[in-house]
A and B are shown apart, each in its own frame.
Chain A
Amino acid sequence: MTNIFSKLYSNKKQELFFERDMSPDKSRKLKTDIAENLNIVNEYLYDCDDVITRIFYMGHTAKHKMALVYIDGMVAMDTVQNEVLKPLMLFARQFPLEYTVGEKFFEMVKEGLLTAGDIKETDNFGDVILGILSGDTILFMDKLEKALVISTRGWEKRGVEEPSTEAVIRGPRDGFTETYRTNVALVRRRLKDPNLKVKTIKLGRHTRTDVGIMYIKGVAKPSIVDEVLKRLNTIDISCVLESGYIEQMIEGDWLSPFPQLRRTERPDVVAASLVEGNVAILCDNTPFALLAPTTFLSLFQSPEDYYERWYIVSMIRILRFIAGFFAFTFPSLYIAMTTFHPGMLPTDLVLSIAAAREGVPFSAVLETLIMIVSLEVLREAGVRLPGPIGQTIGIVGGLVVGEAAVRASIVSPIMVIVVAINAISSFAIPNYSVAISFRLLTFIMIALASIAGLYGIMLGLLGLTIHLVTLKSFGAHYLSPFVSFRFSESKDNIIRGPLPSMEIRPGYTRPQDFDRINDRRHDTIDKAGDERADE
C-alpha cells in the first residue's frame, strides 16, 4: 500500500537541499572592506526592519571601524551592551593600543577584549546570515576578511512549568519548554554521563529549526542512531514548527493510525527512555520531544508507573488495557449484541434494553452514530474553549443535552451509558495520540459490527492485530515484547514487576548494554542490618 501511494505522490526532487536554501551558502566569503560587507548583508536582509546595524570606532584613537549586526528582540540586550560594546568602546580606550589591523589584532579582540562567553569566528556569509537570524550578534571589523559570531541569544520565553498533558501525582513537575537549549539542559541535568551525546542539525528551509538527537553511546544501538539521523537528513521541508512535522516525516508507515514515535513533555521520560536505549529527538520551539523506537506497550505507560509500588502499578496497567480495549470496541459490541446476537445476552438484560429502546425511532447503529458524533463534537468544542467555558460545555452537553435526548426518546438511556463508557475508557489511555486513534477506530468497528455483527468485530480485531504485528518502528517490532517473546522481558509489559527484579533493559531497542539493575541489598544489608536498625 505504502509503495503505491508513495509512487503516486512522489515528485522526485533532484536538486540538493542547499540549492533551494534561502540563505547564502558558505562559499561566499567575506570581503576586506567593512562597508562592502555591510552592503552584502543588507543585500540579503533588506526590508528587514528588525535588523539593527551599529557602526562604531574602537580603540584609543578611534581609528578601527567596526560594526555589530543583530536582530532586535532575539538578542539579550544587556549581553550586547556589557559584553561586547562596553569592552570594545570603553575599556579599549583607556589605554593606547599600538596594534595595527591584522591577524594579531583580530586575536586580541577575540581573546583579549570581548567578555562574551561563546564566540566563533567565520569567514563566509552563510554563517553570518544564519547567525544573525538565530539571534547571534555579528562583529565585523574593517580590513579583515573575518567576522566574529557572538552568541547573544536571548528572547522572551516561557519558564519551566508542569507539563499539562502528562500530569503525575508522584514525580518531577518540570516539563519541557519551547527553547531547545533549555530542553537539552533539562535532560542533561538528569544524566550526568559523558556518553550522553547531543547532535544538532537544522531543518526547514524557512525556519532553520534546531533539531537535536540525544542518545547514550554504548547503550543505544548504533544502527538505530544512524537510522534516525539518516531519516532526519532526508527531510526536505519548508518549515518545522513543531516536532509533529518531524514525526510525520520520519515515521515508517504513515498510513497507520498509530504513532510510531512516542511524544512526551517530560524530561524524566526522555531520560528513562535514553537509558533503555532509545533515541530522543528534540526540536526547537516545541515542548514535545520524540522517542524512537516506540512500542505499542510504551504508549500505555505513564512515567509514574516506575515511581509507584509495583502491585498498584500492575493493577492500573491492566485497567488501562481493559479501558483501551473498550475504547474502540464497546459501541460495536453493543450493536453486534443487540442487532445480531440478542440470544447471547442474559434474558433480563435483553428485555431491559428492549424496554429502554421502546419509542426510539432509530436503529441501534444510527443511534450509536448520533451519540458518538455528538460526543466527538463536544470533546472538540471543549478542547478549544478556555477552562471555565469548557467545563460548562461539558456539563451542558453531557448532562443537559444527554438527559433531554433521552427524555425526547431520540436515544435510549443504555446508549448514553455505552457511549459514555467508550469515551471515558479512551481518556484512560495515557497517550493522547493513541486515545485519538482509538476514537477513530471506534467508527471502523461500528461499521464492521453493523455489517456482520460479532464476526465483523473479529475481522476488525484480527485485521488490527495483523497491522500491529507487521508494523515496525525504526526496526523494532511495534508489538514487542509480545512478538519474539523472552521470559526476561515479561516483568515489564502488561504488569510491571518489582523494580529490583528488572535486571536487564528491555530488548526491543536491542541495547548494547543490557545491565539495568543489580539488587545488592541482600549482599550488603542482610538480615543483621535490619536487626541493627531495630535496636
Chain B
Amino acid sequence: MLTNNDMITVPQAVGLMIMTILEIGLLILPREVAIYAGSDGWILVIVGGLLALAGSLVLSTLIRRFPGETFIEYSGKVIGKFLSFVVGVGLVIHFTLATSIVIRTFTDVTNAFMLENTPREFIIITQMLLTVYLIRHGIEPTARIAEILFPILIVPIFAMYLIAIPKADFTELLPVFNTPIKSMAMGSLNTMFSFFGVEILLMLGPYLKRPDKIYWTMFVSVGVATLIYLFVVVITFVGIGVQNTKMLIWPGMTIIRMITAPGRVFERLDALAMALWTIASFTTANSLYLTGALTAFHLTKAREFKFFISILFPWIYFIASLPPNIIATEKLVYVVKWGSISVGIIIPFFILLLAVILKKKGGTA
C-alpha cells in the first residue's frame, strides 16, 4: 500500500486538477475553436467548459456514492468483475497513451522553439525521469507540487498575455453568434476534449481528505481552467487575428513570440513561455503517469505501487517516440481525446446510471 498519510487536501486537489487540465489546450485551443466557430470561438470555450463541468459532476457523484473506493472497485460491484477488469485495462492503456502524448507534444514544441538540434529522445527521457523522480514519492507530493507550481504558472501567463493587450484589436471578436448550431455543437464537444485530465478523478477517490467537498473542488477546478482557456483564446484572437490563428500550429505560443517585454529585457518572451510550458506539461504528465500506475496497482491488487511506475516507463517512452512527425502526434492526440471521453465520461456515466438503477451503493466510511 502507499504511505499511510497519502491524502490530499482540498486546495491540493484543486491545484492538481487545474494543473492536470492545463497543458496542450493552452497552445492549440485557439486554433481549434477558430476553425470551428471563427470569431465565436470564445463561446465554444465556455460551452465546452460547462460540458466538462457536467462530465466532472458524473465523476464526483460516483465518488460521493462510493466513498473510499476507486473506479476499479466500484465498477466491479456494478458491472461485474470481468467487465470492470476490461475497463480497468482500458484505463491503464488510456493513461499510458495520454502520458505519452503529453510528453511527446512537449518534446515537439521544445524542438520547434527552443532546442532545434537536440535529439527528441533526450528530451523525452529527461522529462520522464523527472516525472518518475516525483511520482515515486506518492500522490500527496505530486499534489503538493501542483499546488506550489500553480501560482508560478498562472501569474506569469496572465502577465505575459496582458502585455499583448495594447496591440489588441477587439473587433476581431465580432461578429458574435454568427456560427451555425451544428458546428457550435461539434466545436463545443471538441473544446471539451481540451479538458481531458479530469478522468484522473476516477482513481483519486480514496485519497481525498475531504470527499464531501468534491463538488466544490471540481466546480472551482474546471471553472478556473475554463477562465484561463477563455483568457488565452480571447487574447490570441485579438492579438493575431482569427484568420491567422487558424493557420498556426501552436497559436498560443506564436502570440508570445510576437510580443516584446516592456523595457526590452528580452527580445522575445519565448524563454519565459517555454519555462511555463515545461511546468504545465510536467504537472500534467505527473498526474496522468501517476494515475496510470495507480490504476494498474488497484487492478492487480499488488502490494508495491512503485513497481508499476517502472513497468509503464518503457511503454510510455516507446509510444512517445513512435509518431514520426507533428501530424502523426496530432492524430494520436485525437485518439487520446476520444479515449478520454469514453473512459472518462461515457463509461462512468453508464456505471453511475446502472448503479442508480440497481441501487448499488458504497459504504459510508
Interface residues of A, Cβ cutoff 8 Å to B = 337, 340-341, 343-347, 350, 452-455, 457-459, 462-463, 465-466, 469-470, 477, 479, 482-485
Contacts and interface: CB of A to CB of B under 8 A. Distances in A.
Contacts of A484: 9, 11-12, 144
B274 interface: yes
Contact of A466 (B122, B133, B275): B133
B36 to A, nearest CB: 33
Interface in B109-151: 110, 114-115, 118, 122-123, 126-127, 130, 133-134, 137, 141, 144-145, 147-149
A455 B264 CA distance: 22
Contact of A343 (B9, B130, B268): B268
A483 B267 contact: no
A483 B148 contact: yes
Interface in B1-47: 9, 11-12
Contacts of B248: none
A346 B264 CA distance: 7
Contacts of A470: 137, 141
A346 B266 contact: yes
Nearest to A477: B144
Given A455-B110, A462-B282, A463-B133, A345 B267 contact: yes
Interface residues of B, number: 33
- Chain B interface helix/strand/loop/mixed: helix
The 5 A-B residue pairs with the shortest CB-CB distance in the complex, in nearest-first order: A458-B278, A344-B271, A483-B144, A466-B134, A346-B267
Contacts of B123: 452, 455
B270 interface: yes
B204 to A, nearest CB: 17
B278 A462 contact: yes
Contacts of A453: 114-115
B279 interface: yes
A347 B264 CA distance: 10
B116 to A, nearest CB: 10
Contact of A462 (B110, B130, B147): B130
Contacts of B126: 452, 455, 459
Given A337-B271, A454-B275, A482-B148, 13 more contacts: A340-B114, A341-B271, A343-B268, A346-B267, A452-B115, A454-B274, A455-B123, A458-B278, A462-B278, A462-B279, A466-B133, A469-B145, A483-B147
Given A454-B275, A466-B145, A469-B148, A343 B137 contact: no
Contacts, number: 84
Interface of B: 9, 11-12, 110, 114-115, 118, 122-123, 126-127, 130, 133-134, 137, 141, 144-145, 147-149, 264-268, 270-271, 274-275, 278-279, 282
Select the residue from A343, A347, A454, A477 with max chain B CB neighbours within 10 A. Answer: A454
24 contacts: A340-B114, A343-B267, A343-B268, A344-B268, A350-B267, A452-B115, A452-B118, A454-B271, A455-B126, A458-B275, A458-B278, A459-B126, A459-B130, A462-B279, A463-B133, A465-B148, A466-B133, A466-B134, A466-B137, A466-B141, A466-B145, A482-B148, A483-B144, A483-B147
A460 to B, nearest CB: 10
Nearest to B106: A455
B149 A465 contact: yes
A465 B275 contact: no
Contacts of A337: 271
B267 A465 contact: no
Contacts of A459: 126-127, 130
Nearest to B135: A466
Contact of B148 (A340, A346, A457, A479): A479
A344 B260 CA distance: 10
Given A454-B114, A469-B145, A470-B137, A345 B278 contact: no
Contacts of B133: 463, 466
A457 B115 CA distance: 13
A467 to B, nearest CB: 9
A486 B271 CA distance: 32
Nearest to A467: B133
Contacts of B110: 455
A455 B267 contact: no
Contacts of B144: 469, 477, 479, 483-484
A346 B271 CA distance: 12
A136 to B, nearest CB: 47
Given A455-B123, A463-B130, A465-B149, A340 B141 contact: no
Contacts of A462: 130, 278-279, 282
A341 B147 contact: no
A148 B79 CA distance: 82
Nearest to A457: B275
